[in-house]
Amino acid sequence: MNTFILLGPPGAGKGTQADLISAELGIPKISTGDMLRSAVASKSDLGNRVEDILNSGKLVSDDIIIELINDRINQSDCKSGYLFDGVPRTLGQANLFLQNDIEVKKVIDISLDDELIIKRMSGRRFHIASGRSYHIEFNPPKAEGLDDDTGEPLIQREDDFPETVKKRLEVYHAQTKPLTDFYKLKASEGSMSFISINGNQSVDEVFSEIKSYLYK
């Protein structure tokens, strides 16, 4: 069974690569956000508990996250495998994966320096009405600050402000980056395999490296 974890900092292109891996192997992509939304929509007992927690403004506990994961991977579309994107997020969650015998055979880490991440994310601009996206350096609009089709002003999302990106990276390094060493150790013990991919390449180049790893 194809079972993967995809790691990497914000802005490294995990979402794009997760979609490509999912399509390539015909397995579902599993993220915390998707699981929470699906659980709430299901109106199950677990979903109602999750909704109450979210409505109260509290964080969903690791125990409930693991309960959601166990429920998700037992669904029919996961019979051939699954890809975790953005989960586990902490060492605590990773250890709960082990305690609950949640199978993971391969871990893919997309690495990228903080300076490049800040440059990538802070340069993004969006046309809200259409969803079209640009980058002031890598994919600039024909006229600075304006959408190519409508001529309407582009915006920079608050999440992409340099100060916001730096804060997100601080959280990543404190909470999620330690998973890299955690899974490298597990790979050295032979319980799974681990690969690190240079994220400072084109989407196609990154996926080409990942794709060669998928079938090993």
Residues annotated as catalytic are 14, 89, 124, 157, 168
The angle formed by the CA atoms of residues 204, 205 and 210, to the nearest 5 degrees, is: 95
Q: How far is CA 50 from CA 30, 74, 76, in A?
A: 17, 19, 22
Token pair in block for residue 139: 């994919």
Rounded-to-integer distance, Cα 11 and Cα 103, Å = 27
Residue 144 has φ and ψ, to the nearest 5°, of -55, 125
Q: Residue 13, class by beta-carbon neighbours within 10 Å (0-12 exposed, 13-18 middle, 19+ buried)? A: buried
Tell me the residue type at 105: K
For residues 21 and 124, is the Cβ–Cβ distance under 8 A?
Answer: no
Rounded-to-integer distance, Cα 33 and Cα 104, Å = 20
